[in-house]
Amino acid sequence: MLPKRAVLLCILVFVLAAPAAAGSIERIVTPSGNGLDITLTLTDIPVGGIVETLPDGCTWTEADHPENRTRVSGQQVAFAVIGEETIRYRVQGPPDAAEAFAGTWEDLLTGESGTVGAGEPRNPGPGAATAPGTPGFGCAAAIVALAAAYRWRCGR
Amino acid sequence: MTRRLLLLACSLCLLAGMAQGVPCDRDGDDTLTAPELATAILDSLDVRFMGGTAAAPSPVDLRDAAFVYEHWDGRALKITDTSGRATTLTRPLRRIALFNSDTLEMMRSIGVEPDRVVGVSKYTLEDPTYFPEYRGTANLGSVWSPDYEQAAAVRPDAVFLYATISQSSCDEIEETLLSIDPTIRFFRFDSYRPAVYADEARKMGALLGTEEETERFLAFHGSVMNTVAGRIASIPADDRVPVYLESWNDYKSAGKGSGYDEKIELAGGRNIFADTTVEYPVVDPEAVISRNPDVIVKIVGAGELVFGGYGGDDPAPFEEVCRTIESRPVWDRIGAVRDGRVHVIHSDVIGGPEYFIGVAYMAKWFYPDLFPDLDPRAIHRQYLEEFQRLDYDLDKHGTFVYPA
């Protein structure tokens, strides 16, 4: 087998063998009036917790999340997740703060944790490597690597 | 020194075991409600990320609470195992030790991840082809020769034993381990008996929090068994195919109520020695000739016929066994021999948790016209790929039946 073809094959194997991302949270920030609407979309996190850090200059307004599952302290907001798939909250602040939100999450059933908006868990919990699921960011990254290797192989 | 450490470990286990209630159940009413769980989550996040100083549950309590809420509706779970013993749990089992490799296989079928298994039997470790993920897992010995030191050292939450095999040995294992660590829970399941197979799977699914995967597996298992049961249902008892089943020991058959008798019935056959009350009788060859079975099923894979299965790719010994049976003196008078209906099957697919694959094979052998579309090999492949999550190519490896 040609060495370059072997590299391509290795990358393909990586694509197929890449552990599936189990849990993830996506954040969408939409400017609205004099504030920002934030929507967190949760995937495969039935019971867990989220801590969002609001950018400087932003102040908490409200959320559609139950009050007894939400706790605000200064610039940080904690959400207890029990079955919710989306959480919407609103802050007052400038539109250019949209990129400055930060957050972390953890799945209390699998032990995974991750960064809000990062796509896949940074700490795949026990058993995550074999958990069934759809290929996530890791798979996409591998496909990009495959494309890069193809370009390299073709000398472009 | 080792003894002191063991004592210390046991004391810690005892202390942990003293927390009997459902974790994070603040009002102590034995039910963890959503508001109680939410408060526990927020307290924990507050202390760890937001500089809070309120009392927060430990990470272990919080994860256990999440499990109890999600899988057991926030309440303690009471499980009655196949031995009839009821056990109440208020926390999930995170460290499982098994002396029963059939139960280990069933756990894999119902989606239990291997990282929860801290100890396995020596038979599991001797079969790396089928249990590759347990290489390096603590060896607990066997039911008949357990390694107590190792079993205690892995600090199991629960130990799984057989329910109906070697009961006295299993009793002794329980007594000895309980004297070392009284907090260990014991569960007895067989995981290979058709009559309790689905019930055991459901109980283990509830116990281990894999209810959805369990139902998915049982749907697969049920589709095979229901297909067979549905088509043979219309055959009157007297018209059912007479079958002689022989174990790996020559002339050792299956009597009424034995596991193999049950499997012949499930496949629609009529066991010619079903009138024998001895579970596994040694029969007279003349009796086989006079009862004239239409089909002969010979089981290999144990005793002096250890070949084939997952570790053997050569079908030649299967063929030899088949020819030997066909050439027994005067057996050419038997319908099964005359008509070329002598079949050899490996115990892997008839004696353990994979028995339903064997039932599918037998049903097809008994009634080829009734089951033209039943593909036992495809069922076997799906079982390995989808439910055992094994990278095992049935087209290249293994020998399970003859003729194939």
In single-letter form, the type of residue at position A18 comes to: A
B299 shares a domain with B386 = yes
Phi then psi for residue B290, to 5 deg, are -70, -30
Picking from A50, A106, A112, A113 by the largest number of B CB atoms within 10 A of its own CB, the best residue to mutate is A106
Domain boundary at B192, B209, B226, which? B209
pLDDT band at A122 (very low <50, low <70, confident <90, very high): low
Task: Name the minimum distance, in Å, from the CA of B59 to any CA of chain A.
Answer: 9
Write out the residue range of the structural domain in which residue B278 sits: 234-402
Residues B61 and B57: their CA atoms lie apart, in Å, by: 6
Pick A20-126+135-141's CATH classification: 3.30.70.3270, 3.30.460.10, 3.30.365.10, 2.60.40.290.
Answer: 2.60.40.290
Residue B50 has its nearest CB partner, among A46, A73, A111, at A73
Residues B254 and B246: their CA atoms lie apart, in Å, by: 7
With 70 as the cut, is the pLDDT of residue B336 above it?
yes
SS3 B61: helix
Of the candidates B284, B276, B236, B226, the one whose C-alpha atom is nearest the C-alpha of residue B256 is B276
* Chain A with chain B: Cβ pairs closer than 8 A: 75
- Tokens 């219309």 identify what position? B234
B198 shares a domain with B252 = no
Bigger pLDDT: A126 or B251?
A: B251
Residues A116 and A106: their CA atoms lie apart, in Å, by: 10
How many C-beta neighbours within 10 Å does residue A83 have? 11
**pLDDT tens, residue by residue, B66-78:** 999 999 999 999 9
Is A49 in Cβ contact with B44 (below 8 Å)? Answer: yes
Residues B169 and B175: their CA atoms lie apart, in Å, by: 10
Distances (CA, A) of B24 to A150, B20, B89, B95: 54, 12, 15, 21
Picking from B49, B72, B214, B391 by the largest number of A CB atoms within 10 A of its own CB, the best residue to mutate is B49
- Long-range CB contacts (< 8 A, 24+ apart) of B290-294? B291/B242, B291/B244, B292/B242, B292/B333, B292/B334, B292/B335, B293/B242, B293/B243, B293/B244, B293/B334, B293/B335, B293/B336, B294/B241, B294/B242, B294/B243, B294/B335, B294/B336, B294/B339, B294/B341, B294/B366
B36-56 average pLDDT score: 95
Residues B404 and B309: their CA atoms lie apart, in Å, by: 13
A28-46 average pLDDT score: 96
In eight-state DSSP terms, residue B386 is I
Q: Where are the domains of chain A?
A: 20-126+135-141
pLDDT at A128: 39
Alpha helices in B190-332 (DSSP H): 194-208, 211-232, 259-266, 285-291, 316-326
B275 shares a domain with B143 = no
Contact (CB, 8 A) for B102 and B191: yes
Element (H, E) at A5: helix A3-17
B297 shares a domain with B354 = yes
Radius of gyration of chain B (CA): 25
Structure tokens at B250: 């020559």
* B320 interfaces chain A, CB cutoff of 8 Å: no
Count of domains for chain B: 2
B396 shares a domain with B248 = yes
Distances (CA, A) of B399 to A85, A128, B42, B300, B377: 48, 33, 56, 11, 11
With 60 as the cut, is the pLDDT of residue A16 above it?
no
Closest residue in A to B389 (Cα) is A130
B239 shares a domain with B152 = no
Distances (CA, A) of B101 to B161, B168, B169, B218, B352: 9, 18, 16, 19, 9
* A19 interfaces chain B, CB cutoff of 8 Å: no
Vertex A30, ends A27 and A32: CA angle to 5°?
145
Element (H, E) at B257: none
Please give the model's pTM, rounded to 2 decimal places: 0.83
- On average, the pLDDT of chain B sits at 94
B253 shares a domain with B201 = no
With 90 as the cut, is the pLDDT of residue A145 above it?
no
Residues B291 and B244: their CA atoms lie apart, in Å, by: 9
CA atoms in the 13 A half-sphere facing the CB of B87: 23
Of the candidates A128, A123, A125, A131, the one whose C-alpha atom is nearest the C-alpha of residue A111 is A125
B390 shares a domain with B247 = yes
**B265 assigned to some structural domain:** yes
Is B389 in Cβ contact with A108 (below 8 Å)? Answer: no
Question: Judged by CB atoms within 8 Å, which residues 32-91 of B form the interface with A?
Answer: 34-35, 37-39, 41-42, 44-46, 49-52, 62-63, 65-67, 69-70
**B31 assigned to some structural domain:** no
* A67 interfaces chain B, CB cutoff of 8 Å: no
Bigger pLDDT: B94 or A151?
A: B94
Structure tokens at B20: 């009997």
pLDDT at B152: 96
**B26 assigned to some structural domain:** no
pLDDT at B335: 98
B361 shares a domain with B253 = yes
* A82 interfaces chain B, CB cutoff of 8 Å: yes
SS3 B99: coil
B398 shares a domain with B258 = yes
pLDDT at B231: 97
**B225 assigned to some structural domain:** no
pLDDT band at A126 (very low <50, low <70, confident <90, very high): low
**pLDDT tens, residue by residue, A54-100:** 999 999 999 999 999 999 999 999 999 999 999 999 999 999 999 99
B365 shares a domain with B268 = yes
Task: Name the minimum distance, in Å, from the CA of B47 to any CA of chain A.
Answer: 11
* Bridge partner residues of A77 (DSSP): A52, A72
* A13 interfaces chain B, CB cutoff of 8 Å: no
Bigger pLDDT: A102 or A7?
A: A102
Is B113 in Cβ contact with A82 (below 8 Å)? Answer: no
* B390 interfaces chain A, CB cutoff of 8 Å: no
Contact (CB, 8 A) for A47 and A125: no
Is B41 in Cβ contact with A80 (below 8 Å)? Answer: yes
Picking from A52, A81, A82 by the largest number of B CB atoms within 10 A of its own CB, the best residue to mutate is A82
B131 shares a domain with B264 = no
**B306 assigned to some structural domain:** yes
Q: Report ipTM for this prediction.
A: 0.79
Is B63 in Cβ contact with A71 (below 8 Å)? Answer: no
CATH value at residue B185:
3.40.50.1980
Beta strand pairing call for A86-92 and A35-43: antiparallel
**B299 assigned to some structural domain:** yes
Q: Chain A residues with CB inside 8 Å of B52's CB?
A: 73
How many C-beta neighbours within 10 Å does residue A130 have? 13
